[in-house]
Amino acid sequence: MKIAIIKTGGKQYKVKEGQVVKIEKLELAGGASVSFDTLLVADGNGETVEVGKPSLGERVSGEVLKTEKQDKVLVVKYKNKTRYKKTVGHRQQMTSVMINKIA
């Protein structure tokens, strides 16, 4: 079984075939196919490793499952003795992708 390091949304993810990965929001509908910029490909036990300089191209493909919001993260600002308190919430949108093939 192959593993790969992909880059999307300014982050890098370690993926393998059949895995569901939550990544930064993609502007694609559910069921659409997507390919990722691949930085490294290796087999499961690490005998053969291909490293890109800087990348190997788009060698990992997957299918978009759904786009949803994460749990709310609360940010609280508080200043002592001044009666100042401010609460802000944020829900990041994430896309679930099923990794189909690592070439």
Residues 6 or more apart whose CB falls under 8 angstroms from that of 39 comprise 4, 5, 6, 7, 12, 51, 52, 54, 55, 56
Q: Given this model, what pLDDT does residue 69 score?
A: 96
What is the mean predicted confidence (pLDDT) over 2-17? 94
Q: Which residues contact 2 (CB under 8 A, 6 or more apart)?
A: 16, 17, 41, 42, 43, 44, 102
With contact defined as beta carbons under 8 Å apart, do 17 and 102 qualify? yes
Closest CA to 50 of 3, 98, 101: 3
pLDDT of residue 46: 79
- Mind listing the pLDDT tens digit for each residue in 86-103? 999 999 999 999 999 998
How does pLDDT run across 15-73, given as a tens digit for each residue?
999 999 999 999 999 999 999 999 999 998 878 999 999 999 999 999 999 999 999 99
- Amino acid identity, position 81: K
Q: What pTM does this model have?
A: 0.81
Query: What is the pLDDT, as a whole number, of residue 44?
Result: 81
The confidence score (pLDDT) of residue 34 equals 96
